[in-house]
């Protein structure tokens, strides 16, 4: 193995791991030497070395072995000359106040987890479900006086929490380069904490953490149940709040709902601004898809997307944005491979598994609930025996929707409407079908309800 050879192998890794991971993790490591079956790489920080070792070691070793089959193991080491001020690190390096030059010091440099270049405000599509979270993120990204502390963002998987946090970090770095902005996941926080304990470097850990201007901790639910990490987090948190430093936290649920989180931590987390990212709606999904298509254009300038495809996807894939994005990426890759345009047929072929997985099972109960809400009547009245028109019509609408939107049989539906006979259900469905053609109001109700149920 030689440095030149590594340079070539690296290019192959680029293809496997993608540009982003490559820039963040592979590019910063440098081949130093290989002997006794061990290949040694120089890494700018211990953190990076550990990360690469945990996530890419197999892949790297596999590539190296094509060149030198005797290699058995990889080692990542921080070279002695890399100090706090070294520029070799990826993404951003946080520098402690006092310049340190020893190898030890390098271990204490706080590394911001790599920021995804694509996660900026420019690429974040704003819609009703996320407008508040977006506005709050924009505000803290201005880097002005701290008005709410912490900013607590929460929401389900894939709704854009990490995207917004990275966007804040990018923006702050641009506007306020003098600020020490530290972004990391709660898991990394714990990892560094444990490492500091093990290496007896708690003083350094505290000192460095408390010297940041903006601290962002992603997925804080991770520290629930991890008592000593929680404790340390709490102290760090308080120290920063006392100094009026901005803290931004994300989690998959509201502070009060995180199990195994101490009450004092919960209440601390709640004392700033808590905003949630709601599940996406159809309009937002469509907006995101349109914006992602524009981004795909860079890679596939010639691919046409037939009208209707994006609408179809926005309609059918309502789980989370990550799945939506993945579907689109696959669609483009597939279309370019087979040299066809992206139309409905190709979409169905290429995404059948995703589409099947995200097929939502709508239940009779859901329909009953939505319909009774819509007509402002009690659920019990809709299901019960009353024959008043104001109950009977909604009942028939609900029966009709159950027939159209679930796979339940007429007798089954009848049973769930207070034990009615299947002929009653059949009659109801027919009646609504007739009315739909004549009565604009009914048609509109049906359309509204169908959309609400499909969200
Ligand atoms: P979370 O951290 O909430 O699980 P992420 O921030 O990782 O979710 O988002 C998952 C993916 O979806 C990312 O690729 C992100 O860019 C994308 N995404 C989520 N919300 C939006 C949005 N509003 N506009 C554009 N992309 C989004
Ligand atoms: Mg996330």
100 pLDDT above the threshold of 80: no
The pTM of this model reads: 0.64
Assigned CATH class of 364-454:
mainly alpha
pLDDT of residue 21: 79
pLDDT of residue 72: 87
- From the CA of 159, how far away is ligand 1's center (Å)? 5
Give the mean pLDDT of 298-304: 87
Does residue 149's CB lie within 6 angstroms of at least one atom of ligand 1?
no
Please name which ligand lies nearest the alpha carbon of 279. Answer: 1
pLDDT of residue 302: 85
415 pLDDT above the threshold of 90: yes
Average pLDDT, the chain: 87
3-state secondary structure the chain: CCHHHHHHHHHHHHHHHHHHHHHHHHCCCEEEEEECCEEEEECCCHHHHHHHHHHHHHHHHHHHHHHCCCCCEEEEECCCCCCCCCCCCCCCECCCCCCCCCHHHHHHCCECCCCCCCCCCCCCCCCHHHHHHHHHHHHHHCCCCCCCCCEEEEECCCCCHHHHHHHHHHHHHHHCCCCCEEEEEHHHHHHHHHHHHHCCCHHHHHHHHCCCCEEEEECHHHHCCCHHHHHHHHHHHHHHHHCCCEEEEEECCCHHHCCCCCHHHHHHHHCCEEEEECCCCHHHHHHHHHHHHHHHHCCCCCCCECCCHHHHHHHHCCCCHHHHHHHHHHHHHHHHHHCCCECHHHHHHHCHHHHHHCCCCCCHHHHHHHHHHHCCCCHHHHHCCCCCHHHHHHHHHHHHHHHHHCCCCHHHHHHHCCCCCHHHHHHHHHHHHHHHHHCHHHHHHHHHHHHHHHC
pLDDT of residue 58: 82
Grade residue 452 by pLDDT with cuts at 50, 70 and 90: confident
Name the CATH topology of 3-96. GMP Synthetase; Chain A, domain 3 (3.30.300)
Q: Which of 218, 279, 290, 322 to mutate to test the pocket of ligand 1 (most atoms within 8 A of CB)?
A: 322
293 pLDDT above the threshold of 50: yes
Query: In which residue ranges of the chain is CATH 3.30.300.180 found?
Result: 3-96
108 pLDDT above the threshold of 60: no
pLDDT of residue 155: 94
Does residue 160's CB lie within 6 angstroms of at least one atom of ligand 1?
yes
Higher local confidence (pLDDT), 141 or 211: 141
- Ligand 1 atom 21: residue of nearest CA: 160
Please name which ligand lies nearest the alpha carbon of 221. Answer: 2
- From the CA of 320, how far away is ligand 2's center (Å)? 12
Grade residue 83 by pLDDT with cuts at 50, 70 and 90: very low
- From the CA of 252, how far away is ligand 2's center (Å)? 8
- Ligand 1 atom 11: residue of nearest CA: 322
127 pLDDT above the threshold of 80: yes
105 pLDDT above the threshold of 50: no
Give the mean pLDDT of 129-145: 95
CA-based torsion, 119, 120, 122, 125: positive or negative: positive
pLDDT tens-digit series, residues 333-389: 999 988 889 999 999 999 988 888 777 678 899 999 999 999 999 999 999 999 999
pLDDT tens-digit series, residues 232-274: 999 999 999 999 999 999 999 999 999 888 898 999 899 899 9
99 pLDDT above the threshold of 70: no
Ligand 1: atom nearest CA of 156 is: 3
Query: In which residue ranges of the chain is CATH 3.40.50.300 found?
Result: 128-276
Please name which ligand lies nearest the alpha carbon of 116. Answer: 1
Give the mean pLDDT of 203-217: 89
Does residue 166's CB lie within 6 angstroms of at least one atom of ligand 1?
no
Grade residue 220 by pLDDT with cuts at 50, 70 and 90: very high
Domain 282-357 has CATH 1.10.8.60: yes
- From the CA of 320, how far away is ligand 1's center (Å)? 8
Grade residue 52 by pLDDT with cuts at 50, 70 and 90: confident
Higher local confidence (pLDDT), 224 or 58: 224
Give the architecture (CATH level 2) of 128-276.
3-Layer(aba) Sandwich (3.40)
Does residue 159's CB lie within 6 angstroms of at least one atom of ligand 1?
yes
Query: In which residue ranges of the chain is CATH 1.10.1750.10 found?
Result: 364-454
- From the CA of 286, how far away is ligand 2's center (Å)? 21
158 is in an annotated binding site: yes
46 pLDDT above the threshold of 60: yes
pLDDT of residue 107: 36
Query: In which residue ranges of the chain is CATH 1.10.8.60 found?
Result: 282-357
Does residue 125's CB lie within 6 angstroms of at least one atom of ligand 1?
yes
Please name which ligand lies nearest the alpha carbon of 160. Answer: 1
């Amino acid at each position: 193995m030689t440095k030149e050879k590594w340079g070539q192998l690296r290019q192959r890794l680029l293809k496997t791991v993608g540009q982003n991971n490559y820039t963040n993790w592979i590019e910063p490591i440098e081949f130093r030497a290989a002997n006794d079956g061990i290949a040694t790489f120089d890494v700018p920080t211990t953190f990076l070395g550990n990360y690469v070792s945990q996530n890419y070691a197999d892949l790297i070793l596999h590539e190296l072995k094509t060149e030198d089959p005797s290699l058995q193991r990889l080692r990542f080491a921080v070279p002695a000359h890399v100090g706090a001020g070294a520029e070799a690190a990826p993404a951003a390096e946080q520098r402690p106040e006092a310049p340190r030059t020893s190898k030890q010091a390098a271990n204490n440099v706080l590394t911001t987890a790599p920021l995804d270049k694509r996660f900026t405000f420019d690429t974040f599509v704003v819609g009703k479900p996320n407008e508040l979270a977006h506005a709050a993120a924009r505000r803290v990204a201005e880097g002005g006086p701290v008005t709410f502390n912490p900013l607590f963002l929460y929401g389900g998987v894939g709704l854009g929490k990490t995207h917004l946090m990275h966007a804040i970090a990018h923006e702050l770095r641009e506007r306020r380069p003098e600020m020490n902005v530290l972004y990391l996941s709660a898991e990394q926080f714990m990892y560094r904490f444990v490492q500091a304990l093990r290496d007896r470097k708690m003083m350094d850990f505290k000192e460095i953490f408390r010297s940041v201007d903006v601290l962002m901790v992603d997925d804080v639910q991770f520290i629930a149940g991890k008592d000593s990490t929680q404790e340390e987090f709490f102290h760090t948190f308080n120290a920063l709040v006392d100094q009026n430093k901005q803290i931004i936290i994300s989690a998959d649920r509201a502070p009060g709902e995180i199990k195994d989180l101490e009450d004092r931590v919960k209440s601390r987390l709640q004392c700033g601004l808590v905003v949630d990212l709601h599940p996406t709606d159809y309009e937002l999904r469509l907006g995101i898809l349109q914006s992602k298509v524009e981004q795909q254009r860079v890679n596939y300038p010639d691919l046409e997307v037939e009208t209707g495809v994006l609408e179809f996807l926005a309609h059918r894939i309502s789980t989370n944005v990550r799945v939506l994005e993945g579907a689109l990426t696959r669609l483009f890759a597939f279309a370019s491979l087979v040299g066809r345009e992206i139309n409905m047929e190709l979409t169905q072929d290429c995404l059948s598994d995703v589409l099947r997985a995200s097929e939502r099972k709508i239940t009779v109960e859901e329909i009953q609930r939505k319909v009774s809400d819509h007509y402002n009547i009690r659920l019990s009245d809709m299901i019960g025996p009353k024959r008043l028109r104001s109950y009977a019509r909604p009942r028939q609408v609900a029966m009709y929707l159950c027939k159209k939107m679930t796979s339940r049989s007429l007798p089954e539906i009848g049973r769930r409407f207070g034990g009615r006979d299947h002929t009653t259900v059949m009659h109801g469905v027919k009646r609504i079908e007739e009315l739909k053609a004549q009565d604009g109001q009914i048609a509109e109700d049906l359309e509204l309800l169908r959309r609400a149920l499909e969200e």
